[in-house]
Amino acid sequence: MSDHPPDLPLTEPADAGTDPALERQLLVLDVNGAAHEVLCEPRRTLVDVLRHDLGLTGTHVGCEHGVCGACTVLLDGRPVRACLLFAVQAEGAAVRTVESLSDGRELSDLQQAFADHHALQCGFCTPGFLMLAEGFLAERPDAGRTEIRELVAANLCRCTGYQPIVDAIHGCATARRAVRREN
Amino acid sequence: MKPAAFRYHRARDADGAVRLLAELGEEAKALAGGQSLVAMMAYRLARPRHLVDIGGLRELDRLRTDADGALRVGALTTHHTVERAPDSLLGPGFAVVRETMRWIGHLPIRTRGTAGGSLAHADATAEWCLLAVALDAELHVLGPHGTRRIAAADFFLGPYTTALEPDELLVEIVFPHPAPYAAVTEFAERRGDFALASAAVVLDRDGGTVRGGRVALGGVGPVPLRAAAAERVLADGGTFAECARAAADALPEEGRGAAYRRQLIRTLVRRACEEADAR
Ligand SMILES: Cc1cc2nc3c(=O)[nH]c(=O)nc-3n(C[C@H](O)[C@H](O)[C@H](O)COP(=O)(O)OP(=O)(O)OC[C@H]3O[C@@H](n4cnc5c(N)ncnc54)[C@H](O)[C@@H]3O)c2cc1C
Ligand code: FES
Ligand code: FES
């Protein structure tokens, strides 16, 4: 915005007292199985509520407009972009974040597969890929490599070159299938 | 960026949503899956003062094939629901609709984004818009004065511009005729991106013989367009290669990327013809 006068703020000065759009609303969100009350403006996205209001900083935020997938969480079991969802839209749905994958002592099988296959380097993208894969495998437990390759195109990773991520998800799916056959 | 402030309203039913939109006027927008609108708001390309959230209107989240053969898609049906629909809801005559979903963005976009949102957003290369034009869909719209039906051919007025009034909701998309021999194909620079160009072909077949067909193109104009010259070739018994050439030859020769686009369309139309015929 080069034509913007430098002495003016980029956002309109707004006063919560006079501007009804800035009023905060009380939300009840179901996150990782617990009910949370949050008081926030309607424009607050789910990813911002998770990170800033609930302190769940496992979910990352990159682009804030739906392109990178760093913010992927599960909504009623399905992967969604938490930056393209206002928190108020998530009321009544079950939200799951990366914090739900393990109890903090032991990694989940999917997380362990990422570690085993070196599917992370800097780790910025990892929570997003984990939740993408978690939601996907729940629905498509029998998916093969081709489908997994298509899936991971959803998220950006600048480090790994994707191959180890495909290997990790495929490895986890294969191990789960073996367990299922045994039972 | 963070979206500008707005007031949030949650609609309880479609009539209520329309009344609210009428009352709030141009400053209000319907919010469905948010996969286009929230991104536009994050860029501050859109800064509505009011959002009317229609996402909870379960009555608009439905999919069925009628006894008369028509496919009816509720406006709030997600791309993902269609992608996973069993034959009992989406019969073999509309397999092309199911298969086209995989071209739309990525899984986490498809789990939220809706058919109605895509059509109302009217991106020139959106897959739902191409399907609507290729399959002659009828769009059912609810306004403060009742419902009206708009043919797909009259619905798209330009990029991001439709025949919808600000206080109207798209409630249902009806595909009247089964299209068992149809295919959609496209090219994007990366998987999941919006297409540079796309082609839909619906063949009329009599036994093994092609009697004619419909060809629609995305990414070559402000809205998805039928390719009349290519359709004439099919009706006259021409080959798929001739049909594809006619589609490409009808495009402008001048302008940035024109030659590339013509080449792309020629390839895409031929592929779509072959895939449609191989069903
Ligand atoms: C990374 C990314 C990639 C994408 N790739 C593709 C792609 O390849 N192809 C593609 O087609 N799309 C793509 N999309 C867009 C996606 O398909 C959206 O789901 C769709 O464009 C809008 O649907 P929505 O339900 O999310 O609508 P919203 O974003 O909620 O709304 C979009 C617009 O439509 C209006 N609207 C919504 N529903 C109605 C209704 N029932 N009646 C009247 N007006 C309504 C809203 O007011 C708004 O103006 C992509 C999006 C992202 C973020
Ligand atoms: S931060 Fe949500 S997709 Fe990039
Ligand atoms: S591990 Fe660094 S971005 Fe994926």
* B7-53 CATH pick, 3.40.50.150, 3.40.50.1100, 3.40.250.10, 3.30.43.10: 3.30.43.10
The type of residue at B126 is A
Classify domain A109-182 at the CATH superfamily level. [2Fe-2S]-binding domain (1.10.150.120)
β-strand partners of B226: B216
Burial of A99 (0-12, 13-18, 19+ CB in 10 A): middle
Closest ligand 3 atom to A159 CA:
2
pLDDT the model gives residue A4 = 45
Complex ipTM value: 0.94
Q: Per-residue pLDDT averaged across A133-139, rounded?
A: 98
Fold of B58-175: 3.30.465
Chain A partners within 8 Å of B117 (Cβ):
none
Q: What are phi and psi of A148, to 5 degrees?
A: -65, -40
Give residue-wise pLDDT tens across range B93-146: 999 999 999 999 999 999 999 999 999 999 999 999 999 999 999 999 999 999
Q: Does A123 contact ligand 3 (Cβ within 6 A)?
A: yes
Q: Annotate chain B with DSSP letters as a single string.
A: -PPPP-EEEE-SSHHHHHHHHHHHGGGEEEESS-TTHHHHHHTTS---SEEEE-TT-GGG--EEE-TTS-EEEETT-BHHHHHT--TTTS-GGGHHHHHHGGGSS-HHHHTT-BHHHHHHHT-TT-HHHHHHHHTT-EEEEEETTEEEEEEHHHHEEETTEES--TT-EEEEEEE-S--SSEEEEEE-SSTTSPPSEEEEEEEEEETTEEEEEEEEEESSSSS-EE-HHHHHHHHTT--HHHHHHHHHHTS-SSSTTHHHHHHHHHHHHHHHHHHHHT-
A151 touches chain B (CB under 8 A): yes
Closest CB to B34 among A14, A84, A136: A84
The mean pLDDT of chain A is 91
> Which ligand approaches the C-alpha of residue A155 most closely?
2
Instruction: Please state, in angstroms and as integers, the Cα–Cα distance from residue B227 to each residue in B104, B127, B246, following that order.
Output: 23, 17, 8
Q: Does A67 contact ligand 1 (Cβ within 6 A)?
A: yes
Question: Distance between CA atoms of B169 and B54, rounded to whole angstroms?
Answer: 10
Closest ligand 2 atom to A62 CA:
1
When scoring A15, A59, A84, A157 by the number of chain B Cβ atoms within 10 A, the one with the most, hence best to mutate, is A84
When scoring B111, B121, B123, B193 by the number of chain A Cβ atoms within 10 A, the one with the most, hence best to mutate, is B111
* B182-278 CATH pick, 3.30.390.50, 3.40.640.10, 3.90.79.10, 3.40.309.10: 3.30.390.50
Instruction: Please state, in angstroms and as integers, the Cα–Cα distance from residue A41 to each residue in A5, A7, A152, B51, following that order.
Output: 28, 27, 33, 13
Higher pLDDT pick, B255 / B260: B260
> Is B50 in contact with B27 (CB distance < 8 Å)?
yes
Cβ distance A85 to B7 less than 8 Å, yes or no, reads: no
Split at pLDDT 50, 70, 90, the class of A30 is very high
Closest ligand 3 atom to A165 CA:
4
What is the bridge-based pairing of β-strands B156-158 and A78-81?
Answer: unpaired
The token pair at B258 is 């024109």
Closest CB to B108 among A22, A79, A150: A79
CATH match of A20-100 with 3.10.20.30? yes
> Is B197 in contact with B214 (CB distance < 8 Å)?
no
Fill in the DSSP letter of residue B78: B
Give residue-wise pLDDT tens across range A71-119: 999 999 999 999 999 999 999 999 999 999 999 899 999 999 999 999 9
Question: Distance between CA atoms of A25 and B200, rounded to whole angstroms?
Answer: 46
In angstroms, what is the span from residue A162 Cα to ligand 3's centroid?
9
Q: Which of A37, A125, A32, A41 is nearest to B2 (CA)?
A: A41
pLDDT the model gives residue B101 = 98
Cβ distance B43 to A65 less than 8 Å, yes or no, reads: yes
User: Where do the structural domains in chain A lie, given as residue ranges?
Assistant: 20-100, 109-182
Question: Distance between CA atoms of B189 and A124, rounded to whole angstroms?
Answer: 25
Give the number of A-B residue pairs with CB atoms closer than 8 Å: 101
Split at pLDDT 50, 70, 90, the class of A20 is low
Q: What are phi and psi of A121, to 5 degrees?
A: -120, -80
Residue A108: count other Cβ atoms within 10 Å of its Cβ.
16
> Is A84 in contact with B39 (CB distance < 8 Å)?
yes
